[in-house]
Amino acid sequence: MPKFLPFLPRFFLRLFLVMVVWPLCTAATAAVRPDCSRPLTLGLHVHGLLYSSQTGTGIDKDISDALAQRSGCAITTTVLPRARIWQLIESGALDFSLSGISTPEREKFASFVWYFSNHYYLLVRQDSGVEKLPDFEARPQLQLGVIRSFRYGANANQWVDQLAAAGRISYASDLEPLYQVLLLGRIQGMIIEPFDMMDIQGTQVKDVTRVIAFDDPAIPHGLIMSKKSLSQAEQAKWRALVDELRQDGTVLRIFEKYFSPDLARSMVNF
Amino acid sequence: MKRPANWSQHLGAALLVLAASLGTTYWLWQHENQNALMDKRAQADFNLRAFLSRIEQRMLAHEQMLRGIQGLFAASEQPVTRRAFREYVAALRLGADFSGLEGVGWVPLVTPAERAAHVALQRQQGVPAYDIAPVAARPAWAPLSQLEPALASHAQSVGLDLFADAARQAAMLRARDSGMATITPKLTQLLETGAKVKAGFVMFLPVYRRGGVVDSLEARRANLIGWVVAPFNMEAWMASLYGEHAAGIDVRIFDGIEITQQAQLYDSGVPGAWPGQRSDEMLEYLNVAGRSWTLAVRSLGVSGAYASRDQSQIIARSGVILSVLLALLTWVMVSDRSRAMVLAMRMTSELRETKEHFELVFDTSPDAVMISRQADGRIIDVNPGFVAMTGYTRADVIGQALAGLAMWKTAEDRDSYLRELREHNGCENLEAMFARKDGTQLVGILSAQPANFKGVACFVGVMRDITARKVIENRMAHMAQHDPLTGLPNRALFDDRLHQAVTQAHRNRTRLALLYIDLDHFKPVNDTLGHATGDVLLKLAARRMQEHVRASDTVARIGGDEFVVLLPTVQDREDARSVAEKIREAMSEVFDLNGGHTAHISSSVGIAVYPDHAIDEIQLSKHADDAMYQAKQMGRDRVVFFGEFHPRRHAATMRVAPD
């Protein structure tokens, strides 16, 4: 017996945790589960590793599944252009979307729960002669391809807005055609995120381009909730639920499916 | 018109203003142009987004409609019959909202093992000639088994294996793998309806086995039973979609990312020659049911509502007009100011000159200048000339009344001065006597003119010192009436006094006596001792004569050695004789001449008395002269009355005289 004695306290501690604390925690979490009395809608958009219409998989899809599973709610997903998603979130016709970033305008109609953050990068053709960001601006013949309604960090936003005012932007509803016209040379640059890197790995795009980072800090991305369709109380419940998914490692596990462990950790822990 | 000296500077200022305001106008015009361009872009962008939104929604609506059919298969416990399919599609009532949709069909996936049963079933359900064509051997066929609404023209297409067409096959496989609706690339032949179209596409939606799991690629592939198919005529589809609401933009749609005539799905513009890629087109890439479409968008000429917001032309025109006006105004103002400056400087200069002149005259004039107020006569200012002339300082006189000054010698002069001012509002050459501060006499000639000095009604008086002139005048007057040698009155003065005396005597009824005196033996003295000595003798004789007459009497020299004496009032002849005798005696005394010489002379005196001997001065003189001549005749050194020795002649004269 004396041999077991040193383990006894740990055993009782575990017993205490299992018998008392865990039920309390589940009771507490169960108490804040969102209202599932009506079917909820979630908009997905085709964007690199976030969602691929070809395979019907991606980070956003996994997060969406995790949300549905943890909340126990039926969540209908629809694949829509990003611009359309923002319109629907604003009108309240759509409850959720994912991987959204905040702007002052969006804060008016949407609230966010961050679960990862990342930097933005300019993918630019090597033959454009652009070595750093100001080079692109300084060459009026260079065109930038962006996804309509996308926003970025403060500096990148300002940079894109200046190009837009000069009529130097080509819009697209997803990245795929932009890669193609970048190869054609119809545009010379486009803005990408880490989850787009996989798209260009091993393609011709990678061979003819270089990547330049924007000098913005990592921008948090998260669950987008429509303020019109979800009450403050419901939003708080979903916020708690996402935080729970982060804390219990669910989010990290999803990201680790798509990125190296280091990158996944750096994106999720911010 | 004569140009001002610095007209080039004025022109320069005006041009500067013109340049500045034109520059501002240009800037505003540019700014407005830029704004207009941005408005135009924003408007075009807004229209474009609205347009994109319609395409997406329409495509979603089609997808939704196909999902309904997908639902029909999912919900049916029995295989869906042709009749059920037909009725379902009919129930959808695909009207104008689905314009361009050429039909809705069912394409089952048929493996070789299922083929016979499939064909038999179709024949059994109402298509006796049904078969899969072409009949090439495949792992599986995708025959268009049914297309609703079932038109006669569609009959050829029923049974057509869509896998035989590569584009369709690719789209169908993508639909199968993704579980989503997909569309083919651009088509010009809709095999499903047998119709040729300018541009079209076909949409596929996969249908999976009822109850099958489709959450993975493998599961989807394993559970696929067929596709719902919908061919579209792009032109009709766009017509209903677009209508007349594409304000401000011209849109061309291309399948994929290539801008080629072959890839062109739609052109909202006027049909014409293929323009290639236009430089003013903005390109936008749209994902439509898993396929990229390129939208080439061009802003059209502005519409009315938009044009009214472009103020650049108005700004340019009004800016130019205002600039010119401003420049003119500047020129007028600058040159006017310059002219005014020149005028002001000239006037100032003249004024200063006038002031200097005035000060020069005022300060340096030897004449005394006095400025006194009309109201009370008080002196406002006097010049240095006044101070020099009168000895009074400015402090002595300023503030004093001119008439009250002690320098007036006589009250008469002062009063006449005041009277002149009062009656004639000034005076001219008023001669007056003054006393200087030191008491010496001053004769001044005074003029005064009314004037306005610093807004006060004044008299400006100018006084000239004529004291010296007066002395000369007096001396000349004396010389004109006196004998220069003896200083006695000459004949002219004497005649004047005689005339006055006769008039006086006549008025007063008194007597007067006229004595003519001639020196005896004067000529020998003159001849022997010379004229100078003779003159001395004459002077001494004259002095002696004066010593023996009264102050009221007059002694005059009327010739070389002839003298006359007027006694204006005598009581009688003896009175006259007494004076004459005294003179005669004085003349007979020795005269001590200069150089130790002496002279012994005498005198002959003739007397005529008024009114005894004559009643007018001419007659009286003549009679005295006659009497003097008589005395000479009678041996000299005696006194003779007229008529004393020639009564007859006397009487005759008396008689004749009144005539």
pLDDT in tens, B314-364: 888 998 999 999 988 988 888 888 888 888 899 889 888 888 888 888 888
Residues A142 and A111 in one domain: no
Query: Which of A47, A54, A171, A188 has the most B C-beta neighbours within 10 Å, making it the best mutation to test the interface with B?
Result: A171
Average pLDDT on B263-292 reads: 84
Reply yes or no on domain B482-656 having CATH 1.20.1250.20: no
Taking phi over 0 as left and psi of -120 to 50 as alpha, with beta for the rest, B103 belongs to: left
Q: What is the pLDDT of residue A10?
A: 59
Q: What is the pLDDT of residue B246?
A: 59
pTM score, two decimals? 0.58
CA angle, residues B104, B110, B115, in degrees to nearest 5? 120
Q: What is the pLDDT of residue A97?
A: 95
Any domain includes A164: yes
Q: How confident is the model at residue A8 (pLDDT cuts 50, 70, 90)?
A: low
Count of domains observed in chain A: 2
Residue whose C-alpha is closest to residue A147's, from A85, A62, A201 = A85
Q: What is the CATH class of B76-230?
A: alpha beta
pLDDT over 60 at A26, yes or no: no
Q: What is the ipTM for the molecules in this complex?
A: 0.78
Residue whose C-alpha is closest to residue B241's, from B363, B378, B96 = B96
Residue B521 · residue B601 · CB < 8 Å: yes
Lowest mean pLDDT among A160-169, B94-103, B289-298: B94-103
Residue in B closest to A147 by C-alpha = B285
**Within 13 A of B626's CA, how many CA atoms are on the CB side?**
20
Q: How confident is the model at residue B95 (pLDDT cuts 50, 70, 90)?
A: confident
Lowest mean pLDDT among A238-252, B210-224, B575-589: B210-224
Q: How confident is the model at residue A238 (pLDDT cuts 50, 70, 90)?
A: very high
Query: Which of B63, B178, B287, B294 has the most A C-beta neighbours within 10 Å, making it the best mutation to test the interface with A?
Result: B287
The answer to whether A149 faces chain B, any CB pair under 8 Å, is: no
**Chain B interface with A: residues with Cβ < 8 Å:** 38, 41, 49, 52-53, 56, 174, 177-180, 217, 257, 282-287, 290, 292, 294
Residues A75 and A196 in one domain: no
Of B49, B53, B177, the CB nearest to A54: B177
CA distances to A63, A107, B206, B227, B230 from B69, rounded to whole Å, are 30, 39, 10, 10, 11
Amino acid type, A186 = R
* CATH number of B365-471, picked from 2.40.110.10, 3.30.450.20, 1.10.150.20, 2.60.120.10: 3.30.450.20
Q: What is the CATH number of the domain that holds A155?
A: 3.40.190.10
Of B41, B177, B283, the CB nearest to A170: B283
Q: How confident is the model at residue B301 (pLDDT cuts 50, 70, 90)?
A: low
Amino acid type, B575 = D
pLDDT over 50 at B648, yes or no: no
Cβ-based contacts of B53 with chain A (< 8 Å): 84, 87
Residues A173 and A185 in one domain: yes
- Residue numbers of the domain that contains A200: 121-213
Q: What is the pLDDT of residue B657?
A: 33
Residue, of B181 and B41, whose pLDDT is higher? B181
pLDDT over 60 at A22, yes or no: no
Residue in A closest to B175 by C-alpha = A54
Of B41, B179, B257, the CB nearest to A177: B257
Any domain includes A30: no
Residue whose C-alpha is closest to residue B207's, from B179, B230, B184 = B179
Residues A139 and A170 in one domain: yes
Q: What is the pLDDT of residue A224?
A: 95
Q: How many beta carbons lie within 10 A of that of residue B31, not counting itself?
A: 12
Q: How confident is the model at residue A1 (pLDDT cuts 50, 70, 90)?
A: very low
CB proximity list for B555: less than 8 A, separation 6 or greater: B488, B489, B542, B545, B546, B549, B563, B564, B565
The answer to whether A183 faces chain B, any CB pair under 8 Å, is: no
Q: What is the pLDDT of residue B651?
A: 44
Tokens of B643: 């008529």
Which pLDDT tens digit goes with each residue over A153-211? Answer: 888 999 999 999 888 999 998 888 999 999 999 999 999 988 888 888 888 888 999 99
Which pLDDT tens digit goes with each residue over B234-261? Answer: 888 888 775 545 566 788 899 998 889 8
Task: Report the C-alpha gap between A8 and B350 in whole angstroms.
Answer: 124
% of chain B at pLDDT higher than 70: 94
Average pLDDT on B546-575 reads: 89
The answer to whether A71 faces chain B, any CB pair under 8 Å, is: no
Task: Report the C-alpha gap between B501 and B498 in whole angstroms.
Answer: 5
Residues A137 and A202 in one domain: yes
Any domain includes A93: yes
Residue B257 · residue B217 · CB < 8 Å: no
DSSP state of A35: P
Query: Which of A55, A88, A148, A163 has the most B C-beta neighbours within 10 Å, making it the best mutation to test the interface with B?
Result: A148
Helical segments of B179-307, H only: 217-223, 234-242, 304-307
Residue B53 · residue B45 · CB < 8 Å: no
CA distances to B261, B273, B543, B561 from B486, rounded to whole Å, are 152, 147, 8, 11
pLDDT over 50 at A2, yes or no: no
Any domain includes A263: yes
Residues A252 and A132 in one domain: no
Residues A168 and A137 in one domain: yes
Any domain includes A207: yes
Residue B54 · residue B112 · CB < 8 Å: no
* Interface contact flag, A176 B292, Cβ < 8 Å: yes
Counting beta carbons within 10 angstroms of the beta carbon of residue B605, is it exposed (0 to 12), middle (13 to 18) or buried (19 or more)? buried
The answer to whether A181 faces chain B, any CB pair under 8 Å, is: yes
Residues A113 and A238 in one domain: yes
Q: Would you mind telling me the total number of residues written for chain B in this entry?
A: 659
Residues A240 and A163 in one domain: no
Which pLDDT tens digit goes with each residue over A61-107? Answer: 999 999 999 999 999 998 888 888 999 999 999 999 999 999 999 99
CA angle, residues B452, B455, B457, in degrees to nearest 5? 45
Residues A224 and A111 in one domain: yes
Q: What is the pLDDT of residue B243?
A: 54
The answer to whether A180 faces chain B, any CB pair under 8 Å, is: yes
Query: Which of A53, A141, A143, A146 has the most B C-beta neighbours within 10 Å, making it the best mutation to test the interface with B?
Result: A53
